[in-house]
């Protein structure tokens, strides 16, 4: 009787950062069966295994795919359109008027371009909040990425009830779609755009559908002051009093927090999506990330949209997250390299509700793996692999991306999307939207 195992993909002779700890498995190997990691370690693949495909990982580091905990993918359409403005002016006078003109096709190609950019910079999973979410889901399915998707809800908008119904339909139609790569949630925009009664409706629907909530929280000082004035509570305490944190929650930004707020976030197991570059660019402030982590809050990293960051690179986000906390605390030990890596992998998986599935390289986890080419001048000598990934690696060093056991990019060539076609379509959509010469 033939007892040999079939292995769909083997990665050989590769240094492995599992994110189970800081140790590097030197010259290790990974065996993938279907969409999962079956073998990982030193010489662990059985000698009689039948291997369908093999990758030579020499001079590369394998690590979990990066997880972007908060973005608005289709806002690639607005990259460079309205820079150097305060958040509310940026939203009210520039972004929201353009978003009112968006068509389904715009969102589809805007999301596809975001997927191209994210894959090429090592992101394998992203949490998105936007509109025309059916189109976002189609783009995710085509790209091969993994995503946590929420239809954005503005509670003060005239179509708020209709949007909530659309959200229900989206969750029912797409939760678990794309071979399980899509997770659906509800996306009330923020406490300043969603009144208490509307948020209570959202919470009720989330409970009925058994899904989480993705919401902006305490992003700016003006939001903090507005909520305090209206409800006599901080944004975090206001949402907690409504029962929102009884539902699995991704709280984006969380820049302006009291010590009591941090204690609430820790107690309620709220996942915080920290967006350092966007917060810096919009001068929203510096989130107390080091304090949150030390208080037991799960903190992941997000890029926010390309309109308020200009880049969707999680590698850049890790670097900015670490450096910003050091200078804010005047402490070079604040958020060391490995902590930044955790915020983009294992802790990010907790934030987006995929703990135990992604974020680590371990037996039984989904085969979401990136290979980083360490045979580059700026990465020698190899004193500290973790530090290099955070402080020295660039997006262009990501050589191979594997998602759900499938090779999505190899030798920096995308295998699921036509980059030029996507870029051309996006450029056309952007021109039609803004009708200005600089595009």
**430 inside domain:** no
CA–CA gap between residue 145 and residue 403 (Å, rounded): 7
**158 shares a domain with 78:** yes
Q: Is the pTM of this model over 0.95?
A: yes
Q: Ramachandran region of residue 411, left (φ > 0), alpha (ψ -120 to 50) or beta?
A: left
**208 shares a domain with 103:** yes
**346 shares a domain with 253:** yes
Q: What is the CATH number of the domain that holds 14?
A: 2.30.40.10
Domain boundary among 303, 322, 351: 351
Structural domain of residue 48, as residue ranges? 6-64+359-414
pLDDT per residue as tens, the chain (439 positions): 467 899 999 999 999 999 999 999 999 999 999 999 999 999 999 999 999 999 999 999 999 999 999 999 999 999 999 898 887 888 888 888 888 899 999 999 999 999 999 999 999 999 999 999 999 999 999 999 999 999 999 999 999 999 999 999 999 999 999 999 999 999 999 999 999 999 999 999 999 999 999 999 999 999 999 999 999 999 999 999 999 999 999 999 999 999 999 999 999 999 999 999 999 999 999 999 999 999 999 999 999 999 999 999 999 999 999 999 999 999 999 999 999 999 999 999 999 999 999 999 999 999 999 999 999 999 999 999 999 999 999 999 999 999 999 999 999 999 999 999 999 999 999 999 987 434 3
**43 shares a domain with 172:** no
- Predicted pLDDT at 439: 37
**183 shares a domain with 43:** no
User: What's the structural domain count of the chain?
Assistant: 2
**172 shares a domain with 51:** no
**391 inside domain:** yes
Instruction: Please name the residues in contact with 164: beta carbons below 8 A apart, sequence gap of 6 or more.
Output: 153, 198, 201, 202, 205
**363 shares a domain with 320:** no
Kindly tell me the sign of the dihedral angle through the C-alpha atoms of 112, 116, 117, 123. Answer: positive
- Predicted pLDDT at 438: 43
Q: What is the CATH number of the domain that holds 163?
A: 3.20.20.140
**73 shares a domain with 59:** no
**1 inside domain:** no
**186 shares a domain with 51:** no
**422 inside domain:** no
**431 inside domain:** no
**401 shares a domain with 264:** no
Q: Phi, psi (5° rounding) for residue 201?
A: -65, -45
Domain boundary among 316, 351, 386: 351
**245 shares a domain with 157:** yes
**329 inside domain:** yes
**294 inside domain:** yes
**364 shares a domain with 347:** no
**436 inside domain:** no
């Amino acid at each position: 009787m033939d007892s040999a195992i079939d292995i769909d993909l083997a990665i050989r002779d590769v240094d492995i950062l599992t994110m189970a700890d800081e140790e590097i498995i030197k010259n290790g190997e990974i065996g993938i069966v279907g969409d999962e990691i079956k073998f990982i370690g030193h010489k662990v693949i059985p000698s009689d295994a039948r291997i369908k495909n093999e990758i030579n990982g020499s001079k590369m580091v394998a690590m979990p795919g990066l997880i972007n905990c908060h973005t608005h993918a289709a806002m690639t359409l607005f990259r460079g359109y309205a820079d150097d403005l305060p958040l509310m002016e940026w939203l009210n006078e520039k972004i929201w008027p353009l978003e009112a003109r968006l068509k389904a096709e715009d969102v589809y190609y805007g999301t596809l371009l975001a997927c191209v950019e994210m894959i090429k910079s090592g992101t394998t999973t992203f949490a998105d909040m936007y509109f025309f979410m059916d189109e976002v889901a189609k783009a995710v399915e085509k790209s091969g990425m993994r995503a946590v998707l929420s239809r954005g809800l503005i509670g003060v908008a005239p179509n708020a009830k209709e949007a909530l119904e659309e959200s229900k339909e989206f969750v029912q139609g797409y939760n678990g779609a794309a071979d399980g790569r899509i997770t659906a949630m509800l996306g009330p925009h923020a406490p300043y755009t969603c009144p208490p009664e509307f948020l209570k409706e959202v919470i009720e629907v989330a409970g009925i559908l058994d899904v989480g909530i993705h919401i902006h929280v305490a992003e700016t000082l003006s939001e903090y002051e507005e909520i305090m004035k209206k409800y006599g509570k901080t944004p975090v305490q206001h949402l907690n009093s409504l029962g929102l944190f009884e539902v699995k929650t991704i709280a984006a930004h969380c820049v302006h927090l009291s010590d009591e707020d941090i204690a609430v976030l820790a107690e309620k197991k709220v996942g915080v999506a920290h967006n350092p570059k966007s917060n810096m660019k919009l001068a929203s402030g510096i989130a107390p990330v080091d304090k949150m982590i030390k208080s037991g809050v799960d903190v992941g990293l997000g890029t926010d949209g390309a309109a308020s960051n200009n880049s969707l690179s999680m590698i850049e986000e890790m670097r900015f997250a670490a450096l910003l906390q050091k200078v804010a605390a005047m402490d070079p030990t604040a958020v060391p390299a490995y902590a930044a890596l955790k915020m983009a992998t294992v802790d990010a998986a907790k934030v987006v509700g995929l703990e135990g599935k992604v974020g680590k390289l371990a037996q039984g986890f989904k085969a979401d793996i990136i290979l980083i080419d360490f045979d580059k001048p700026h990465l020698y000598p190899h004193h500290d692999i973790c530090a290099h990934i955070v402080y020295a690696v660039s997006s262009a060093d990501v050589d191979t991306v594997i998602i759900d056991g499938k090779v999505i990019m190899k030798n920096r060539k995308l295998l699921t999307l036509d980059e030029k076609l996507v870029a051309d379509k996006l450029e056309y959509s952007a021109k039609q939207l803004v009708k200005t010469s600089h595009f």
